Amino acid sequence: MIASKARARAVYKGHRITVVIPCLNEEQGIEQVLRRMPSFVDQVIVVDNGSTDRTSEIARSLGAEVIREDVRGYGRAYRKGFAHATGDLIVTLDGDHSYPVDAISYLLEAFLHLEVDFLNASRFPVRNPKAMSLKHKIGNLALSLAMSLLFLRWVRDSQSGMWVFRRSILDEMTLEADGMAFSEEIKIEALKNRRIRFGEISIMYSSRLGEKKLNPWRDGLHNLLFLFKKRFSRTKKLARRAG
Alpha-carbon gap, residue 184 to 181, rounded angstroms: 6
Alpha-carbon gap, residue 71 to 37, rounded angstroms: 27
77 near ligand GTP, judged by CB under 6 A: yes
98 near ligand GTP, judged by CB under 6 A: yes
Q: Out of ligand GTP, Mg ion, none, which partner does residue 81 contact, by CB within 5 to 8 A per kind?
A: none
* 8 alpha-carbon distance from chain centroid: 24
96 near Mg ion, judged by CB under 5 A: yes
11 near ligand GTP, judged by CB under 6 A: no
Nearer to Mg ion, 21 or 188 (CB): 21
Binding mask 26-45 vs ligand GTP (x if CB under 6 A, - otherwise)?
x-------------------
| Residue closest to 82 by CA, chosen among 55, 47, 110 | 47
> What's the min distance (Å) between Cβ of 9 and ligand GTP?
26
Alpha-carbon gap, residue 213 to 215, rounded angstroms: 7
Nearest residue (beta carbon) to ligand GTP: 213
Stretch touching ligand GTP by CB under 6 A, among 46-54, 166-174, 187-195, 225-233: 46-54
DSSP state letters, 156-193: S-TT---EEEEGGGGGG------STTHHHHHHHHHHT-
Beta strand 198-202 with 118-122: parallel, antiparallel or unpaired?
parallel
49 near Mg ion, judged by CB under 5 A: no
Binders of ligand GTP among residues 141 to 200 (CB under 6 A) are 161
